[in-house]
Structure 1
Amino acid sequence: MFPATGTAAGGPDAAQALEELRARRHLVVRLAAAGGRVRRLRRPGRSLRVGRVGLRWWERFGVLKCGIICVMQAMRHLRGGARSVEPAAIGRRVCETE
């Protein structure tokens, strides 16, 4: 299994999973080349060190945030707050965050 996506090697998504791993590796290499530091928005004078563990945490946080937004859109549609198909379509994407 590829650790990034959970797909089996040789499966239909194996090439995509390999490309995702390459992209992540490229991001980590570029971050390290930049000194491994990013500026903090709240305290401009300080910087925050981000490594592989931090990158993984922020990726998971982003997926969780997206899942919560999808649930909120689905609930908005189901409760009648929005009478359009867009919130329903976004709500269907909740399963992608599993």
Structure 2
Amino acid sequence: MRKVIEGKLYDTEKANLIYEFQKYANIDSTYGHTKTWVTAQLYQTNKGNWFELVEGKNTSDVLNKLNEDKVKEILAHDPEKYQEFFELEDA
């Protein structure tokens, strides 16, 4: 999937898939907007930018640009993966 965000091209074919996870997200349904668990994938571009691809259940897939704080929040569930990209200090 490809999408232009703030004048930059985010492309799942050219970026590195870093992590797959479940996300509680709003989706469109026959009853309007509801929340449910969906599959998402975290990507990093060759220039170091982060984005996620969220699989749509009843709608199209969605590609969102992410900031570093959001990426840290996602990767906090997997300390080994977190340490691949960010410094982690012992408590």
User: TM-score band (shorter)?
Assistant: under 0.3
Higher relative contact order (CA 8 A, sep 6+): 2
Question: In proportion to residue count, which structure has more strand?
Answer: 2
TM-score, with normalisation over the residues of structure 2? 0.24
Larger radius of gyration: 1
Question: In proportion to residue count, which structure has more helix?
Answer: 1
